[in-house]
Chain A
Amino acid sequence: MNTIIAYARKHFTEMRRNYLSTFAGLFLIALCLPLALREMLGMTSEVGGEVMMCLGWASVLILTSNAFREWYTPGYDAFCLTLPISITRRVIFLGVTSLVISILSAQLFFWATYYGWQLFAGFNCLDLQDDPMDIVLRLSLVQVVIHSLLMVCYSRGGRSRSWWLILGGLAAFYFLLNIPEMARWVSDLHTSFPNLDNQLRLLGENWSIVLHNRPLGAATEVVEVVSCASIVVAFYLSAWCGFKEREARK
């Protein structure tokens, strides 16, 4: 237990500036994204879910890779690998901390700016289509799923750069499966905002897949299903990478 406390102290002392700049970044996203979307698309009320999703993804990605940063900083990784603390303990600590901080910070920044915009600017730029608790739970679930994927990538204690590929693949998968949803969204947009290109309307009319008429819900459910399915594949892929891990310095 002592080693974990010592490690916690070391980690937060060394990463203090990183954490502060990450929080500043997340806060800026939470604050500016609704405004940006509002300016770009005119009157908007259905982007609450998207903003929250962005925050959720951003927070878990950045905070988890920050947590494991020392393991892949060239020149510092040797010290990190030879530090007398078992890999398991380190991974558990970094994993739990990064997940908890991701969930808390995403929620904190989202709700702060949501109410902040309403209070101070008076505009309801984030219209949540669902019960807030439902949103909180779903976002947290997505974050857990992404986080577990990242964790598996780092779990072997090596410097696995193959997680870029896995994440990239997952992101591509996610977007591919969401094309129908996005297409519908785009076609809806077109009706609301005639200044958009005609091309997009065509795309929307050719797709015939029907999804639930709950934008936030639909998108999230797809992510959940896809992520959970991908997790199994990714788990085996990255574990295999971890075992095969060899350091190529030159």
Chain B
Amino acid sequence: MKTICFTNTGYRYRLGSQVFRTLSLTLSEGHVYGLLGENGVGKSTLMKLAAGVLIPTAGSVTIEGHEASRREESAMAKLFYLPEEFSLPALSLDTYCRVTSPFYPTFSAEAYELCCKELDVVRDVRLDKLSMGQRKRALLAFAFATGAQWLLLDEPTNGLDVAAKEAFRRLVARYADEGRSVVISTHSVREIDSLVDHLIILDRKGVVLDASIAEIGTRLRFGRFSAEEHSKWHEEPLFAESTLAGTTGVTVNHSDEESAVDIEMLFMASLRSTERLRALFNTKNE
């Protein structure tokens, strides 16, 4: 079973703040997950728990059955975690790749060449002498080349220019097509719109929703609605904003027709009508 499972996971920082209490989530193979939430809700913490970098203070996190925090060789070879901010040794990317790739049995030199080209990576200059954007592109190329079953990317598009972001999208699409999973944690909701097929939205209490885009489109309706329609409903929209074109927003979907999901609006709705959304998707927390 190729999954990463969070079972009643709790995490508390040494200096006191409790980030999660009883978080339960399952990540499966072949999906692109979007991890959204405001600053400080624990997106990075969640990723680090999945990668085994942090040890949960309660419950467990398993990678394909192995306890993540034990950092077993076989489990670590199946994932690649790219933090938001990182530093690298004083080596060129080619050298770094040469010494690090042997640890990843699924590494492909061909994919490495391709990714470096697509992301326009500087391969022969020392990594610590590159700008943050260049370093990110370099590590992204390496990440995709590892061919790991799980790519955990924390704010991967931060610091990338337009061309690099396009290349990133192409690479993620191709990666997931081959049955692997990519988990992207981000603030740039719009940028992952064309990538994700499953969303996880977090808030300070835990998970607000954990659903596929298809499911979201069935339960919610996104788009324009008129004043008459509005008055007909018994309930308030989950989110609404007036634009020049009229009122657009997120409402409960009472029709049989699946709606096209607007992730940005959904995120706004998660901020305005958190509990309703939670209830709607039957997300259980503490």
Do residues B99 and A78 form an inter-chain contact, with CB atoms below 8 A?
Answer: no
Do residues A248 and B51 form an inter-chain contact, with CB atoms below 8 A?
Answer: no
Do residues A82 and B13 form an inter-chain contact, with CB atoms below 8 A?
Answer: no
With a cutoff of 8 Å between Cβ atoms, the chain B residues found around residue A6 in the complex are 99, 102-103
Instruction: Determine how close the nearest CB of chain B comes to the CB of A245; give it in whole angstroms.
Output: 7
Contacting residue for B91 out of A14, A81, A87, A246, CB 8 A = A14
With a cutoff of 8 Å between Cβ atoms, the chain A residues found around residue B26 in the complex are none
Main secondary structure of the interface of B (DSSP, over half): loop
Knowing A248-B14, A250-B15, the reply to whether A79 touches B86 (Cβ < 8 A) is yes
Return the CB mask of A136-169 against B: 1 if under 8 Å, else 0. Answer: 0000000000000000000001000000000000
Judge whether A20 is part of the interface by a CB distance below 8 angstroms. Answer: no
Residues 219 to 250 of chain A near chain B (Cβ within 8 Å): 245-250
Judge whether A97 is part of the interface by a CB distance below 8 angstroms. Answer: no
Judge whether B73 is part of the interface by a CB distance below 8 angstroms. Answer: yes
Contacting residue for A247 out of B53, B83, B95, CB 8 A = B53
Return the CB mask of A97-108 against B: 1 if under 8 Å, else 0. Answer: 000000000000
Knowing A3-B103, A82-B71, the reply to whether A75 touches B83 (Cβ < 8 A) is yes
Do residues A81 and B99 form an inter-chain contact, with CB atoms below 8 A?
Answer: no
Instruction: Determine how close the nearest CB of chain B comes to the CB of A2; give it in whole angstroms.
Output: 8
Do residues A246 and B102 form an inter-chain contact, with CB atoms below 8 A?
Answer: no
Knowing A10-B100, A82-B52, A85-B103, the reply to whether A76 touches B87 (Cβ < 8 A) is yes
With a cutoff of 8 Å between Cβ atoms, the chain B residues found around residue A10 in the complex are 99-100
Return the CB mask of A66-87 against B: 1 if under 8 Å, else 0. Answer: 0000100111111101111111
Do residues A82 and B73 form an inter-chain contact, with CB atoms below 8 A?
Answer: no
Judge whether B88 is part of the interface by a CB distance below 8 angstroms. Answer: yes
A185 to B12, CA, bound (A): 52
With a cutoff of 8 Å between Cβ atoms, the chain B residues found around residue A14 in the complex are 89-91, 99
Q: Which one of B74-82, B226-234, B270-278 contacts A?
A: B74-82
With a cutoff of 8 Å between Cβ atoms, the chain B residues found around residue A79 in the complex are 81, 86
With a cutoff of 8 Å between Cβ atoms, the chain B residues found around residue A245 in the complex are 55
Judge whether A13 is part of the interface by a CB distance below 8 angstroms. Answer: yes
Knowing A87-B71, A247-B53, the reply to whether A73 touches B87 (Cβ < 8 A) is yes
Knowing A14-B89, A84-B104, the reply to whether A78 touches B53 (Cβ < 8 A) is yes
Instruction: Determine how close the nearest CB of chain A comes to the CB of B132; give it in whole angstroms.
Output: 11
Knowing A13-B95, A82-B52, the reply to whether A75 touches B73 (Cβ < 8 A) is no
Do residues A82 and B76 form an inter-chain contact, with CB atoms below 8 A?
Answer: yes
Do residues A75 and B87 form an inter-chain contact, with CB atoms below 8 A?
Answer: yes
Across chains A and B, the number of contacting residue pairs, with CB separation under 8 Å, is 86
Nearest CB in chain B to that of A86: its residue: B73
How many chain A residues touch B (CB < 8 A): the figure is 30
Contacting residue for A76 out of B14, B76, B89, CB 8 A = B89
Residues 39 to 73 of chain A near chain B (Cβ within 8 Å): 70, 73
A79 to B52, CA, bound (A): 11
Nearest CB in chain A to that of B56: its residue: A246
Return the CB mask of B1-43 against A: 1 if under 8 Å, else 0. Answer: 0000000000011110100000000000000000000000000
With a cutoff of 8 Å between Cβ atoms, the chain A residues found around residue B13 in the complex are 246-250
Instruction: Determine how close the nearest CB of chain B comes to the CB of A66; give it in whole angstroms.
Output: 13
A246 to B53, CA, bound (A): 10
Nearest CB in chain A to that of B154: its residue: A78
Instruction: Determine how close the nearest CB of chain B comes to the CB of A76; give it in whole angstroms.
Output: 5
A79 to B91, CA, bound (A): 15
A131 to B76, CA, bound (A): 51
Knowing A13-B95, A83-B76, A86-B72, the reply to whether A78 touches B57 (Cβ < 8 A) is no
Judge whether B85 is part of the interface by a CB distance below 8 angstroms. Answer: yes
With a cutoff of 8 Å between Cβ atoms, the chain A residues found around residue B51 in the complex are 78, 81-82
A84 to B80, CA, bound (A): 10
A9 to B86, CA, bound (A): 22
Instruction: Determine how close the nearest CB of chain B comes to the CB of A157; give it in whole angstroms.
Output: 7
With a cutoff of 8 Å between Cβ atoms, the chain A residues found around residue B89 in the complex are 14, 70, 76
Instruction: Determine how close the nearest CB of chain B comes to the CB of A22; give it in whole angstroms.
Output: 15
With a cutoff of 8 Å between Cβ atoms, the chain B residues found around residue A212 in the complex are none
Q: List 5 A-B pairs, minimum CB-CB distance, nearest first.
A: A248-B14, A75-B87, A84-B77, A10-B99, A84-B76
Interface residues of B (CB under 8 A from A): 12-15, 17, 48, 51-55, 57, 71-74, 76-77, 79-81, 83, 85-91, 95, 99-100, 102-104
**Can you report 21 residue pairs joining A to B where beta carbons are below 8 Å apart?**
A6-B99, A10-B99, A10-B100, A70-B89, A78-B53, A81-B51, A81-B53, A82-B79, A82-B81, A83-B76, A84-B104, A85-B76, A86-B72, A246-B12, A246-B13, A247-B48, A247-B53, A247-B54, A247-B55, A248-B14, A248-B15
